[in-house]
Amino acid sequence: MTARTETRLWLAQRGSAAVLALCVAVHLATLIYAVRGGLSAAEILSRTRGSAAWLGFYLLFVAAVTVHAPIGLRTVLREMTAWRGRSLDLTMLLFGVLLAALGLRAALAVFA
């Protein structure tokens, strides 16, 4: 990986962090509010079912996390273990794909 690519990865991580700052703030506020008096599927789904706004929000959230988490994990593993190079990069990419797939599935699950 060239220094140029590594810089771009770092930028993507910081950029997605900025997006996540907003998403997480909304998410934290929502769940702290929603958890009052217990949490039920009906409560969650009554908010998200058929709501284009919530779907859009969660898709943005998933996209940002898919970029942010694997890049972060890659750095942690490179520094704290002996693992580095192509195999690590590919594994982190796959982790990103997994997050995207599961996240998309989850977003659609509460929308449909």
Residues near another protein, by CB under 8 A: 1-4, 6-8, 10-11, 14, 17-18, 20-21, 24-25, 27-28, 31-33, 35-42, 44-45, 65, 69, 72-73, 75-76, 78-80, 98-99, 102-103, 105-106, 108-110, 112
**Residue 88 φ/ψ region, left for φ over 0, alpha for ψ in the -120 to 50 degree band, beta for the rest:** alpha
Range 28-37, long-range pairs (CB < 8 A, 24+ positions): none
Rank residues 6 and 50 by Cβ distance to another protein and give the closer one.
6
For residue 42, the minimal CB distance to another protein (Å) is 7
Per DSSP, 57 falls in state H
